Amino acid sequence: MTFEMGLVFLVLLITIILFALEVFPVDKIAFFIIVSLTLLGLVKPEEAISGFSNSATIAVLALMILAIAMEENGVITWLTSGLGKIKAFPLFIIAPVFMIVTASISAFISTTAVVIVFIKIINQLSDRFNISKSKLLLPISFAGILGGSCTLMGTSTNLIVNSVAQNLGAPALRFFEFTTIGLIFLAVAIVYLTLMLRWLPWSGKRELGTDYSVSDYITSVRIKPGSQLVNKRLEETFLFNNPEISILKLIRDNRIHNSPGKYITLKENDQLLLMCNILSLSKLNDSQNLGLNEQIFWKGTDHHSTGEDNVTKLEERVFVELLMLPGAALLGKTLGNLRGYMQQDIIPVAIKKRKTLTNIKERLVRSSSDKLALKAGDRLLVDVSKENIKSLEAIENIVLLQEFDSLKTHSRFGRILSLVVLGLVVVLAATGVLSIMVSALAGVSILLLTNNLNLDSVYKKVNWQIFFLLAGMIPLGIAMHNTGADMWISERLLGLLVGQSKMIIIGSLFFVTMVMSGVVSNNATAIIMTPIAMALASGLNLDFKPFILAVMFAANFSFFTPVGYQTNTLIYGIGNYKFKHFFIIGGILSLVLWLLATFLLVRMA
């Protein structure tokens, strides 16, 4: 091993640890890789930034924009509009139908975009008809991943593996070249997941107040003349930094101050909107000369009002749960920040932090002083008046997990044009007339020029983390090739596998890639493992294709962990799953597909 190889492996090791621990967002890790490789002289400056102009990176970006157009014009919603009609059927019928539809659409549209629409549909079915969302969310996430694995444009992983392999001298994969194998995997998974439905948890209609442990009350108190609090700064009162009390708003002279600061001086007749438990509420009533005659309080979703001069008609207020998507405007904000950031009528109540590999229990944040910030996959509980629920739609990259009448309208022309454009992109790419990158860019251009795609939505809704991740990981693959690190690894593997059958060799490559993808992102795994697979095939003097496909499928098949694929991360908390549901049910599926894939790919070698 040379010194340069050692440096590459050091950067690779640090990268894997950072991905696994989720210390930083993936885009920050990507920049770390670019800068580290450049400063260490492992890649040239032009190679360091080559990921930004890589055909696969641009193709992934263009396809993400197309998926946004499909969502904005109501295409995905229209394609799934009839699914509610099967509500009366048993789950063993509903689940396979949902999986087939999810997989079919995911073969041509971003899996994440499709699964987000299904999350909304399943939540509505759960709220209306008490159908268990946990019995459906995990199957549709897995089906979306498998559907995306059926075509070259189905997932970013497929595109990046094809691009890296081409750069290393392998022939390009055709659009539907591996669709037959993908459909076999999908069929096996649908049968298996349908049989496993009984072992998934039950999660029907929920009371959000109970689900978030909001046994607290929200109350409005008035500071009476002569109160000990008059002319005191908020920080000097028993209300401030009290773990049992959260100060939501200050109302003075008909003006509302969101999340008032500690230096604000209290005055007579100020009203404070507080969240506190019943014991603290009774203490407030007996001390400090506070007026509770204008009480506004509720528990769970049972709202009451005992006064006529309330800040708002709280009997018309509801709890709404918001799911944070990558790129959401609220990401990075704490509960305290949110109480000052959101509009007057919206009261952030609590945050549910998503589970991770290092924190497998869901964490609940209800204190304004807590410094835990929102991340993608977290859920935010807000209190809002019914008439303002629709205004939450204006917040970019969130999913409202309650049923409501959307303000959005979709033009029939826009929907038809979007479908036609998607069809053209698929046909042109599948027939080889244009590459996926060029056909996708052309499709985006048509939608932009016909005003059926808004650039503001594109800038806000594109998952830039994936774009920067790809741009950052590609130089790492180049560094591995430049220093011979990929050959060094393949030679060690050849030494271990010498004299073994093709089944053992391809099976080992598939298994290592699949396990790595469960810890590191699927795209990062694909970029790291593709050069190694190519070098291994070259050393054995075998066809590249089965080795490339082994990496491509294996990088997508990390069903045994909720963090290996973005859709799994999104449904992890919503479906009330535990790590064991992925590890056992998803793990068995991963093992079954590993054995099946090994058998099928060896026949190609």
Same domain, 33 and 173: yes
Most confident of 213-217, 281-285, 378-382: 378-382
| Band of residue 204 on the pLDDT scale cut at 50, 70, 90 | low
Least confident of 3-7, 98-102, 400-404, 561-565: 400-404
Question: In what helix (H) or strand (E) does residue 278 lie, and over which residues does it extend?
Answer: helix 278-286
Most confident of 381-395, 397-411, 552-566: 552-566
Same domain, 51 and 176: yes
Tens digits of per-residue pLDDT, 70-93?
988 888 888 887 777 887 788 899
Most confident of 176-190, 365-379, 517-531: 176-190
| Band of residue 445 on the pLDDT scale cut at 50, 70, 90 | very high
Same domain, 94 and 232: no
What per-residue confidence (pLDDT) applies to 206?
A: 61
Domain count within the chain? 2
Same domain, 247 and 201: no
What is the chain's percent helix, strand, coil content, to nearest 5?
55, 10, 35
Kindly state whether residue 540 falls inside one of the protein's structural domains.
yes
Most confident of 229-238, 313-322, 525-534: 525-534
Amino acid at 182: G
Same domain, 180 and 275: no
Question: At residue 327, does pLDDT exceed 90?
Answer: no
Q: What is the mean pLDDT of the chain?
A: 83
Same domain, 584 and 473: yes
What per-residue confidence (pLDDT) applies to 314?
A: 41
What per-residue confidence (pLDDT) applies to 117?
A: 86
Question: At residue 394, does pLDDT exceed 60?
Answer: yes
Tens digits of per-residue pLDDT, 277-320?
656 656 665 655 565 444 444 444 444 333 333 334 444 667 78
Higher pLDDT residue, 210 or 427? 427
Same domain, 136 and 225: no
What per-residue confidence (pLDDT) applies to 298?
A: 42
Question: At residue 491, does pLDDT exceed 90?
Answer: no
Least confident of 50-54, 201-205, 233-237: 201-205
Tens digits of per-residue pLDDT, 3-53?
999 999 999 999 988 887 777 888 899 999 999 999 999 999 999 999 999
Which residue, 260, 284, 299, sits at the end of a domain? 299
CA–centroid distance for 32 within its chain: 22
Kindly state whether residue 432 falls inside one of the protein's structural domains.
yes
Kindly state whether residue 193 falls inside one of the protein's structural domains.
yes
What per-residue confidence (pLDDT) applies to 554?
A: 96
What per-residue confidence (pLDDT) applies to 404?
A: 57
Same domain, 200 and 223: no
Tens digits of per-residue pLDDT, 107-126?
998 888 889 888 888 888 88
Name the token pair of 591.
């093992």
Which residue, 246, 275, 299, sits at the end of a domain? 299
Kindly state whether residue 316 falls inside one of the protein's structural domains.
no
Q: What phi and psi, each to the nearest 5 degrees, are found at residue 49?
A: -105, 10
Kindly state whether residue 319 falls inside one of the protein's structural domains.
no
Kindly state whether residue 389 falls inside one of the protein's structural domains.
no
Q: How far apart are CA 492 and CA 509, in angstroms?
A: 13
Q: What is the mean pLDDT of residues 480-506?
A: 86
Dihedral (C-alpha) 597, 602, 604, 605: value to the nearest 10 degrees? 140
Same domain, 429 and 474: yes
What per-residue confidence (pLDDT) applies to 383?
A: 80
Which residue, 278, 299, 320, sits at the end of a domain? 299
pTM over 0.85: no
DSSP string, 194-244: HHTGGGSPP-----HHHHTT---EEEEEEE-TT-TTTT-BGGGSTTTT-TT
Q: What is the mean pLDDT of residues 231-241?
A: 82
Q: What is the mean pLDDT of residues 343-369?
A: 72
Name the token pair of 386.
């019914």
Kindly state whether residue 338 falls inside one of the protein's structural domains.
no
**Beta-bridge partners for 297:** 304
What per-residue confidence (pLDDT) applies to 26?
A: 85
Query: Could you identify the residue written with the tokens 């996708």?
Result: 440
The residue segments making up the domain with residue 178 are 3-205+418-559+566-602
Same domain, 429 and 464: yes
Question: At residue 261, does pLDDT exceed 90?
Answer: no
Higher pLDDT residue, 402 or 109? 109
Higher pLDDT residue, 323 or 282? 323
Same domain, 43 and 128: yes
What per-residue confidence (pLDDT) applies to 289?
A: 55
Kindly state whether residue 96 falls inside one of the protein's structural domains.
yes
- Axis-axis angle for helices 502-517, 587-602 (nearest 10): 150
Same domain, 72 and 121: yes
Higher pLDDT residue, 214 or 155? 155
CATH code for the domain in which residue 269 is found: 3.30.70.1450
